[in-house]
Amino acid sequence: MGLESFLEQFQRGKKLVVLTAYDVQMAGLLELSGVVDAILVGDSLGMVFQGKNSTREVTVEQMAYHTAAVRRGAAKSFIITDMPFGSDLDPTEALANAQVLLEAGADAVKIEGRKLSVIRTLVGQQIPVMGHLGLLPQTAESFTVQGKNPQEAQNMRQDALALQEAGAFSMVLECIPTPLGTAISHSVDIPTIGIGAGPDTSGQVLVINDLLGLGQGKYARFVRQYTNLGQTIMDLVQNWAQDIARQDYPSPSEQYN
Ligand code: KIV
């Protein structure tokens, strides 16, 4: 599984499935599931893994560390790693930073916003680049739906075409009205991967922690929760604590003689 098979699935009309992972075990499970077309090592790890208020403090070294862990768990998967805030502003620096992420195990990098000369430089060096439009967490002032007014929507449609023209192999569309997600998806020839962009994008991406219900806050509207793993984890911890309290743990079969 790599870029070729990602694009092949798109050409066949399969809805692409992308999920984030930040560690070896989750990456291994996503690969074993057999249904994930790409694993995204998202800089969302700054929030869901490191507990920061934004993704802005995440460094290239941290992204490389998590990418290496994900690669150890998912040797065959197509892995895309986010270029963190500030690492992709200048083409020469972006190239050096992208190379660090590729050496750590990424197959491709993702870049937020309209950074056309950076995308051109990386693609020119055979580094596959995924774009990202709509809500851009690295620079967003508020986490609200983007592209609601006609001028913003028009600008985003032009940005999408410009990313394609610069050589991006795909793009994430985050938190935009469904008609805009549909219009952009129909106007470009590369796969669009939506997160809160409606049903007509070429595929969908979610942060794995949200899908699993690991968070304690309010989830965005587009997060469908199949389980509340957070509650399950708390229940299991309480069960174990009870077993310890009533001296039921460790049992004879859980001890060394
Ligand atoms: O950082 C991330 O996880 C992302 C996804 C939400 C698309 O960019």
Query: Cα(205) to centroid of ligand 1, in Å?
Result: 8
Pocket test residue of 37, 49, 50, 82 for ligand 1, highest count of atoms within 8 A of CB: 82
Q: How confident is the model over 153-209, as pLDDT tens digits? A: 999 999 999 999 999 999 999 999 999 999 999 999 999 999 999 999 999 999 999
pLDDT of the chain, 257 residues: tens digit per residue: 899 999 999 999 999 999 999 999 999 999 999 999 999 999 999 999 999 999 999 999 999 999 999 999 999 999 999 999 999 999 999 999 999 999 999 999 999 999 999 999 999 999 999 999 999 999 998 899 999 999 999 999 999 999 999 999 999 999 999 999 999 999 999 999 999 999 999 999 999 999 999 998 889 999 998 999 999 999 999 999 999 999 999 999 999 99
210 lines ligand 1 (CB under 6 A): no
Q: Which residue has the tokens 């989750």?
A: 26
pLDDT at residue number 105: 98
20 lines ligand 1 (CB under 6 A): yes
What is the token pair recorded at 132? 């990202």
Ligand 1 atom nearest to CA at 193: 7
pLDDT at residue number 67: 99
Pocket test residue of 205, 211, 219 for ligand 1, highest count of atoms within 8 A of CB: 205
Q: How confident is the model over 50-64, as pLDDT tens digits? A: 999 999 999 999 999
Q: How far apart are CA 7 and CA 212, in angstroms?
A: 27
Q: Helix, strand, or coil here: 200?
A: coil
Query: Cα(130) to centroid of ligand 1, in Å?
Result: 12
182 lines ligand 1 (CB under 6 A): no
Ligand 1 atom nearest to CA at 206: 6
Instruction: Identify the burial level of 62 via C-beta atoms within 10 angstroms of its C-beta, where 0-12 means exposed, 13-18 middle and 19 or more buried.
Output: middle
Q: How far apart are CA 22 and CA 63, in angstroms?
A: 9
Of the candidates 152, 165, 174, 254, the residue annotated as catalytic is 174
- pTM of the shown model: 0.97
Q: Which residue has the tokens 């963190």?
A: 84
pLDDT at residue number 68: 99
Residue 31 phi, psi (nearest 5): -65, -45
Query: Cα(254) to centroid of ligand 1, in Å?
Result: 41
58 lines ligand 1 (CB under 6 A): no
Q: How far apart are CA 49 and CA 46, in angstroms?
A: 6
Q: Which residue has the tokens 């079969």?
A: 253
Query: Cα(238) to centroid of ligand 1, in Å?
Result: 32
Is 174 catalytic? The answer is yes
Element (H, E) at 203: strand 203-206
